[in-house]
Amino acid sequence: MTDELTPDQVESGGRAAAFFDLDKTLMAGSSGMQFARVAARQGIVGRRQLARWAVEHLRYRLRGTTDERTAEVLRVARELITGVPALKIARMGPEVMADILPRVYPQMLAEVHAHQDAGRPTFIVSAAGNEVVESLARVLGMDGGIGTSYEVDAAGNFTGRLAGPFVYGPGKVEAMESFAAAQGIDLAASYAYSDALSDLPMLRAVGNPVAVNPDPPLGAIAREEGWQVLRFERLGRRLLAVFVTVLATAAGLTASRASKARRARAAAPRAGRLLRR
């Protein structure tokens, strides 16, 4: 985390920063899915729930998500961690990082480094757990992370309740504004990167919004507003290529079978004539 500025620096307008959403922005797919896989290995998440989340994760990568789906995932996640020792979750951190780091986009790391070279501090702002967000920010050499915190009781177990705002949608703006005030950040001069329409409040909270692998609704808004757009998510194109290949193969097999059937029908009369002779 960066040092706080003096009152004079804050009054002078502070400094610009760059805020990065995590899922489908800094990394391919969802950090929550990587956490869920590790949690399944620890017996916290069942196989059926993991399978349901895997399907949801594929849908998310292809089409984005909705507020309703996000709320449902949060509800189930809060139920699953209720009563789980915070220490057990903390000890999963290295495994979760090992799964997340290979999915970080090199193009986005270049963006992070460009801002740092220009003197702008960089932060992750995500609905993911605060421990994951802060740990990833440290590993990537960023200046800090702002994630969702969960309440821990006196016995050191998660209660299933939030210990602050859900850092999603308007909650991201609330967290960013509080953080910016404390750190002397001028949001009007700052940058924000995200992929989803749900982060429209976050993008509008800064002077320089950037849409990264945007879902269709956000992509349309970015075009209308003239925002910078970065695209390098290839899963959809890969799946489309596979689908086209499967269709072409199926069409080829169908044509081959039809050709064989025509040849067989054509040969049948000749065979009949030979037998009659």
State the pairing for strand pair 191-194/18-20. parallel
3-state secondary structure at position 259: helix
CA dist 156 and 136 (Å) reads: 23
Mean pLDDT to the nearest integer, 130-148:
94
Mean pLDDT to the nearest integer, 193-207:
95
Dihedral sign for Cα atoms in the order 43, 46, 49, 50: positive
CA dist 148 and 86 (Å) reads: 14
Q: Tell me, what's the pLDDT at 42?
A: 79
Q: Which residues are catalytic?
A: 21, 23
pLDDT averaged over the chain? Answer: 80
What band does 233 get if pLDDT is binned at 50, 70 and 90? low
Q: Tell me, what's the pLDDT at 73?
A: 67
CA dist 201 and 246 (Å) reads: 41
Share of the chain above pLDDT 70, in %: 69
What band does 87 get if pLDDT is binned at 50, 70 and 90? very high
Which is more confident, 244 or 235? 235
pLDDT over 50 at 54, yes or no: yes
Domain 7-233 superfamily per CATH: HAD superfamily/HAD-like (3.40.50.1000)
Q: What are the tokens at 155?
A: 């016995």
- For 156, phi and psi rounded to 5 degrees? 85, 20
Q: Tell me, what's the pLDDT at 254?
A: 52
- pLDDT tens per residue, range 13-41: 579 999 999 999 999 988 878 888 888 88
Task: Return the DSSP state at 105.
Answer: -
CA dist 143 and 59 (Å) reads: 32
Mean pLDDT to the nearest integer, 248-262:
52
Beta pairing partners, 124: 20, 145
Least confident of 46-50, 184-188, 244-248: 244-248
User: 0.95 cut: is pTM over it?
Assistant: no
Q: Tell me, what's the pLDDT at 209?
A: 98
Which is more confident, 34 or 156? 156
